[in-house]
Structure 1
Amino acid sequence: MEKSEKFFLDYIHDKDLNQSEKDILSYLIEKKFENKQLSIRKAADDLFVSTTSIIRVCKKLGFSGYSEFIYNLGLKVTQMADSESETIAGIHGPYEQTLKEFGENFKITFKAIGEKNIEDFLHEIERNKMVYFYGAGFSTLFSNYLAKKLELFGYYVSNASTSDSRAIFFNNIQKYNLLIVFSRSGETGKVIEKVQIAKDKGLKTVLFTGNSKSTTAQMADIVFSVLDPTIESQREFQVTSFESNMFMLIDIILILAIKRGIMKEY
């Protein structure tokens, strides 16, 4: 709804105005939004009505005359502008703060990973075109994302989660040499179990996590740890930079693989 239309509806609420009077009111509001100062005579000339007709509209709206109505209309427009400015300011501060925080957390994440981990990972996906994925909880979002991306580049992938049985995992993993696991805490029992099975089978294991000190992190061959602001509080459902930074990390690694010629864009 246009701002001028909202003002119009506010003014005519419970007021018995005919169409001609509504046209007068609408015109005056529009001119105020255009920041044009109109004398009653100029308004009457533009509308092809008498000044008396304009005054009658103002009185029907509850004002003593044209001057009081214009004053009230001006106040409304000013208050609305101030309110919008406060709303923008109220959003801008937290927005800038969050953007800065997310960016800083990603810089910390990427610096902590180290080039060797990236090199090792690129080496594994270069020589293994069949990849088994395992995700726990919300981390299945990341697992599904990377699996789908690799699938687009011609990889054969399988995706499992904690809802799959141990037997299914055990049977499917036989044909793979690389397991990529996503687990935020790295302490989920089923994740630890599956990584151990993979290691016993001689698979290379890659872990994407928020906890570099977890049990799973100690077991995996390659670990990518994304800074998790909830690592101490364990409030995993809190909205933080962890999720968006994880997706950014995945995409950056994929871009590096493309630049190396390991994967080719079609």
Structure 2
Amino acid sequence: MMNIENLIEKYQLNDSEARALRFMDQHKEGLKKIGIREVAKQAFVSTASIVNMSKKMGFSGYSELVFSLQSPSVSANTDLTDLVTVEEQQLFTQLMTHYRDKRIMVLASGFSQNIANYMNETFNLYGFRATANSHLEFLRGTNEEDILLIIISNSGDTQRLVELAEIAQKHQMALIAFVGDKKSKVGDLATLTISTNTYSPKTLQSFTPNFFFGTVLNQFELLLNGALKNLYDAP
């Protein structure tokens, strides 16, 4: 479920653009029939405002925005659900619910930093207070109840990340680990360990495809989708 108000805030839409987007979201099933001029008329904005809004949000124009609004979410019955267990989904949802209005720190190094940045942007899009920077002052033991730590590591044994995981455990901080090897050091220290089970040192020395990063993204999207449904659809 896409939260329109979060999109309005993220893209800094003005009043006219926000009004148009709300109208489009509320009438998305019939947008292709009524066209941009009728949308502008009903939302009391100009067609130029709608086009500018579409481009501000990263779309080529009105038609691409309409397509995005009307595109169904990925079905929960796809084979991707094999990537996470029911127990992992339940615990992830519990942690997201508990830390909904607290702070989330996403930590990684190397190529995994790209995944951390993506998770950070996605969390913020949905209204969570996330950062992908290592503000170590938050790991001093005085804020442990207000911070959820997420660590991403292919090997799960990167020294710096292991040290941060040890600090988290020492101060009883909640930790979610996305790792390539569940039995790694970071994996053993985490409150919830999500493993791709793809790690092998050999992949660093040959042309063998590395499935860690793509798999982590799919796992994260599935887990977050389940958590958001619980947060937004709960009575």
Give the greater-gyration-radius structure (CA).
Answer: 1
Kindly indicate whether residue 91 of structure 2 is the aligned counterpart of residue 120 of structure 1. yes
Q: Which has the higher contact order (CA 8 A, sep 6+)?
A: 2
User: Are 2:154 and 2:212, in contact at CA under 8 Å, matched by a contact in 1?
Assistant: no
Aligned counterparts of 2:112 and 2:82: Cα–Cα separation in 1: 22
1:232: Cα distance to partner? 4.6
Kindly indicate whether residue 138 of structure 2 is the aligned counterpart of residue 172 of structure 1. yes
Aligned counterparts of 1:192 and 1:236: Cα–Cα separation in 2: 23
Aligned structure 1 segments of 4 or more residues deviating by more than 6 angstroms? none
**Structure 2 gap ranges (5+):** 1-77
In structure 2, relative to structure 1, the CA distance for the partners of 1:135 and 1:159 (3 Å cut) is same
SS in 2 for 1:195: helix
2:166 aligned residue (171, 178, 196)? 196
User: Are 1:209 and 1:223, in contact at CA under 8 Å, matched by a contact in 2?
Assistant: yes
Q: TM-score, normalised by structure 2?
A: 0.57
1:147 aligned residue (120, 123, 126)? 120
**CA displacement 1:67-125 (0-9 Å, x = unmatched):** xxxxxxxxxxxxxxxxxxxxxxxxxxxxxxxxxxxxxxx96x85364211211111001
In structure 2, relative to structure 1, the CA distance for the partners of 1:257 and 1:214 (3 Å cut) is same
In structure 2, relative to structure 1, the CA distance for the partners of 1:189 and 1:258 (3 Å cut) is same
**Structure 1 gap ranges (5+):** 1-105, 162-167
Count of aligned pairs: 150
User: Are 2:92 and 2:227, in contact at CA under 8 Å, matched by a contact in 1?
Assistant: no
Aligned counterparts of 2:122 and 2:99: Cα–Cα separation in 1: 15
Aligned counterparts of 2:205 and 2:153: Cα–Cα separation in 1: 12
Task: Answer 1 or 2: which has greater helix percent.
Answer: 1
Aligned residues: percent identity? 19
Aligned counterparts of 2:81 and 2:204: Cα–Cα separation in 1: 23
SS in 1 for 2:133: strand
1:134 is aligned to 107
Aligned counterparts of 1:240 and 1:262: Cα–Cα separation in 2: 35
In structure 2, relative to structure 1, the CA distance for the partners of 1:243 and 1:191 (3 Å cut) is same
SS in 2 for 1:213: coil
Q: TM-score, normalised by structure 1?
A: 0.51
1:231 is aligned to 200
* Matching residue's letter, 1:149: T
1:27 is aligned to none
User: Are 1:134 and 1:180, in contact at CA under 8 Å, matched by a contact in 2?
Assistant: yes
1:249: Cα distance to partner? 1.4
